[in-house]
């Protein structure tokens, strides 16, 4: 399979590295409006490929060269600076998506291509890209809360002393400050979280739950404070999502996609079944009253953000 990555900054490069390491694609083309940066990234990755899977990695400076790409990953645009939140990027990055998506669509097979959106504020960019592309909603997928769910999982894993592989814990809603930790549907092994805690005699206190929520919501801010940007986590997320698509795995991932939710058209993250054709189905998890309320509020924040750019 040939794929294209548009935007080869910190995140786009990390995505390219993570995808290269899967060995699942035959060719990666890299486009950035900063041609020198794209060429340098392709050179560096090319060197790495001599120790790894021998795939073609080329920088391109013309959108026509993305022809034949079955998946196009959009990771271009401004990133958060310390003190900024994702919504602060709304105006700048909607201009970036408006620039990129029409050019991409002129050069891909509209009956096949899947767009993976990484640019923040994620959910609003998914809505915008879907509208501009005219593609079915199932083929414009945002990485959504896959990263937030991973953060929830690793923090719980450390707290409980249980491998992440035995934890099913999802974060729902916005990939942003209003995301909702879905405690009520969390399972450890095949036990609901509370039953598991009771059996091992380790209860998670309300204060500990609050701390975990705070840490999940603030993970990106802490990383940006410490290293200027986040990239390893999102690189792994995109590679995993791509693997699920290429292999038609039909795994359940919390990605963002436009849906009719609460009588509104909005892109939010919910657990969704992913395969070769993109999003195959969406699941509504068990939620308590506060999670249901939180999810509605989160959808409302995304909807209001979208209204500011149309």
The catalytic site residues sit at 175
Does the footprint of ligand NAD cover residue 77 (CB under 6 A)?
yes
CB of 166 to ligand NAD, least distance (A): 24
Least separation in angstroms between residue 230's CB and ligand NAD is 5
- Pairing between β-strand 251-261 and β-strand 180-181 as defined by DSSP bridges: unpaired
Taking CB under 6 A as the rule, does residue 143 contact ligand NAD? yes
CB proximity list for 270: less than 8 A, separation 6 or greater: 172, 254, 259, 282, 283, 284, 285
Contact flags string 44-73 toward ligand NAD, x per CB under 6 A: ------------------------------
Both tokens of 3, joined, read 């794929």
Chain residue at closest Cβ approach to ligand NAD: 9
Of the pair 41, 193, the CB lying nearest ligand NAD is at 41
Number of residues that bind ligand NAD (CB under 6 A): 32
Closer Cβ to ligand NAD, 93 or 130, answer by number: 93
Spatial separation of the C-alpha atoms in residues 109 and 287, rounded to whole Å: 39
75 binds ligand NAD (CB under 6 A): yes
Q: Pick the binder of ligand NAD from 33, 215, 217, 243 (CB under 6 A).
A: 33
Provide φ and ψ at 238, rounded to 5°. -65, -40
Does 118 interact with ligand NAD (rule: CB under 6 A)?
Answer: yes
Least distance CB 64 / ligand NAD (angstroms): 15
7 scored as a contact of ligand NAD (CB under 6 A): yes
Q: Which of 172, 234, 236, 266 binds ligand NAD (CB under 6 A)?
A: 234
> Among 118-126, 176-184, 267-275, 302-310, which window interacts with ligand NAD (CB under 6 A)?
118-126
Residues at the interface with ligand NAD (CB under 6 A) = 6-12, 32-34, 37, 75-80, 89, 93, 96, 99-100, 118-120, 122, 143, 147, 175, 229-230, 234
């Amino acid at each position: 399979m040939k794929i294209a990555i548009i935007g080869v900054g910190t995140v786009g490069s990390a995505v390219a590295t993570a995808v290269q390491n899967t060995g699942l694609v035959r060719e990666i083309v890299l486009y950035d409006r900063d041609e020198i940066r794209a060429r340098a990234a392709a050179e560096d990755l090319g060197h790495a490929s001599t120790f790894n899977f021998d795939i073609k990695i080329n920088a391109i400076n013309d959108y026509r060269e993305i022809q034949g790409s079955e998946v196009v990953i959009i990771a271009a645009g401004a990133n958060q600076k310390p003190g900024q939140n994702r919504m602060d990027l709304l105006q700048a990055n909607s201009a970036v998506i408006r620039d990129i998506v029409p050019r991409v669509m002129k050069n891909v097979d509209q009956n096949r291509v899947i767009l993976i959106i990484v640019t923040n504020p994620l959910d609003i960019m998914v809505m915008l890209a879907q509208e501009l592309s005219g593609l079915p909603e199932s083929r414009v997928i945002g990485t959504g809360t896959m990263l937030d769910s991973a953060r929830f999982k690793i923090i719980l894993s450390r707290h409980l002393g249980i491998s992440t592989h035995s934890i099913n814990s999802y974060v729902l809603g916005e990939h942003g400050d209003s995301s909702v930790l879905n405690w009520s549907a969390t399972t450890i092994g095949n036990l609901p979280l509370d039953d598991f805690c009771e059996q091992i005699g380790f209860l998670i206190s309300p204060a500990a739950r609050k701390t975990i929520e705070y840490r999940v919501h603030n993970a990106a801010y802490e990383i940006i404070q410490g290293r200027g940007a986040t990239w390893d986590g999102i690189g792994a997320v995109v590679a995993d999502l791509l693997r699920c698509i290429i292999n038609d795995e039909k795994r359940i991932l919390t990605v963002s996609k436009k849906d009719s939710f609460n009588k509104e058209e909005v892109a939010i993250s919910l657990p969704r079944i992913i395969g070769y054709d993109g999003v195959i189905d969406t699941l509504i998890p068990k939620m308590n009253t506060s999670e249901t309320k939180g999810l509605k509020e989160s959808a409302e924040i995304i909807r209001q953000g979208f209204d500011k750019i149309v």
